[in-house]
Amino acid sequence: MKGYKIRKLLVVLIILLPVISYTGCKKQAKCGCDGDMLYPIADAIFDHSAIYYNAAGTTAYFVISSGYYADTYYFCNPSDMFAAYNSIGSTDQVKLSGDLYWDCSYVSQAGSSGSYQSSYYKVYNIKVTKLESSLYGKK
């Protein structure tokens, strides 16, 4: 009889222990320009030619390449920064600041494919807050 009670108690503990110890799910960061900010970028210096705009000023991006990987940064607000971009001379360097977010298509693809390639490149969205000619001048 005593062994039966111990087994019953062990079964109850096996069932209740995971329920009691469960701390909840970790919140997944929201991606995209209206998601959860990863971190701010302050006064990064680029060559004017490293930022690519389409003719209408509706899309813009830049790529940071370093050996094995190349990360792409798409502007959240390209139209807002198009006039500032055009006012900077093509041989000048650009000072850029903004808030960085995960790109949703990248997050979706990297999560579903599970491929090693996603560790070699990343895609971000950046809400640019400042785009101006650098004090360092021309290249």
Sequence spans of domains, the chain: 28-138
Residue 38 reports pLDDT greater than 60: yes
d(CA 72, CA 103): 10
How many alpha carbons lie under 13 Å from residue 80 in its C-beta half-sphere?
10
In CATH, which of 2.60.40, 2.60.120, 1.10.10, 2.40.50 is domain 28-138? 2.40.50
Q: What is the pLDDT of residue 95?
A: 95
Whole-model pTM: value is: 0.74
Is pLDDT above 70 for 29?
no
Sign of the C-alpha dihedral, residues 41, 121, 123, 37?
negative
